[in-house]
Amino acid sequence: MKKVISTKNAPGAIGPYSQAIEANGMLFISGQLPVNPETGNIVEGGIYEQTEQVMKNLEGILTEAGYTFDDVVKSTCLLSDMANFAAMNEVYGKRFAQNPPARAAFAVKTLPKEVLIEIEMIAAK
C-alpha cells in the first residue's frame, strides 16, 4: 500500500507527482530543487546555498514521514556542471558523517528553473 507524503516544509509539487511516496517501509522522495518553501523562490547564491536549501527540503520531507538522514539508503544528485561537485559534496556530506548512503551524481544539460542542483532520495526503515 502506498502513502502520499506532503509537507509545507518543502516546495509543493507543481506537476503530476508527489513530494514523496512511502511504500513497504521505503520512502521515495522526488527530486528537490533549491526552492524556499516559504517564498516559492529559488534561493540566492551559488552551489553552496542551493545545496543547503535542497538538503533542508529533503529533511523536511524525511521528518514529515518519520525518517531521518540516517534512514537514507540511496540518493541521486543532478548537477548543472560537474565543476560544482566538490562544493555540493561538502554541504551534502555534513548530513552523512557516518554510514553514508549509496549515491550517484550526474551532470545534466539543464535543470528546471535553471538551478544548479537537484537531489532525490530513497530511505528505508
Q: Determine the pLDDT at residue 29.
A: 98
Q: How many domains does the chain have?
A: 1
108-112 contacts at long range (C-beta below 8 A, 24 or more positions apart): 108/78, 108/79, 108/80, 110/80, 111/33, 111/78, 111/80, 112/33
User: Angle at the Cα of 11 (from 9 to 13), degrees rounded to 5?
Assistant: 125
**Mean pLDDT calculated for residue range 13-31:** 96
- The answer to whether residue 56 scores a pLDDT higher than 90 is yes
The tens digit of pLDDT for each residue in 100-124 reads 999 999 999 999 999 999 999 999 9
- The answer to whether residue 59 scores a pLDDT higher than 90 is yes
- Domain hosting 79: range is 2-124
Q: In the numeric block, which cell numbers belong to residue 78?
A: 543532478
The tens digit of pLDDT for each residue in 69-88 reads 999 999 999 999 999 999 99
Kindly report the pTM of this predicted structure: 0.96
Domain harbouring 63, CATH code: 3.30.1330.40
R_g of the chain computed on alpha carbons: 14
Q: What average pLDDT does the chain have?
A: 97
φ/ψ of 39, rounded to 5, equals: -105, -25
φ/ψ of 85, rounded to 5, equals: -60, -50
Instruction: Give the distance, in angstroms, between the CA of residue 36 and the centroid of all CA atoms in the same chain.
Output: 13
